Structure 1
């Protein structure tokens, strides 16, 4: 991602999925890197939010995305390892 964003500094996206580094630092870095690239009205998806071995992912989601006043966030964890998604409102 860093190389792509360096080559395309003005790129923004309507849909971003984050299914990358599942380590705490990597997940935090991935979300923080892509969130500013999300267009108004765009959606971001983050998987494994409820994985029993990756309990810290929900906290990272809450800290990086859900805490933003311009994001409408939802978590679906009724099946599988769960997924979180958000829409950028402004």
Structure 2
């Protein structure tokens, strides 16, 4: 069966948090700006904005962030704050 493209989009959106984490000085808004720009660009090219199904997008992002927590705990404990903050953001109402 074909995998939903929203899963891949969620993976890309997660990458922006990692890129933002390495910025000096830190800029948490940068990742959000990148996520919005990526989704808008995707919508322009593909004709469908992944944000139109926020529940699905949030579910895939959360799934990826949970995977990242396990990975970081095993391999890069210093990076645990990146996926943990994403889980916090993704679990907040709204």
Q: Structure 1 length normalisation: TM-score?
A: 0.36
Quick check: which one's helix share is greater? 2
Q: Structure 2 length normalisation: TM-score?
A: 0.35
Q: Which of structures 1 and 2 has the bigger CA Rg?
A: 2
Quick check: which one's strand share is greater? 1
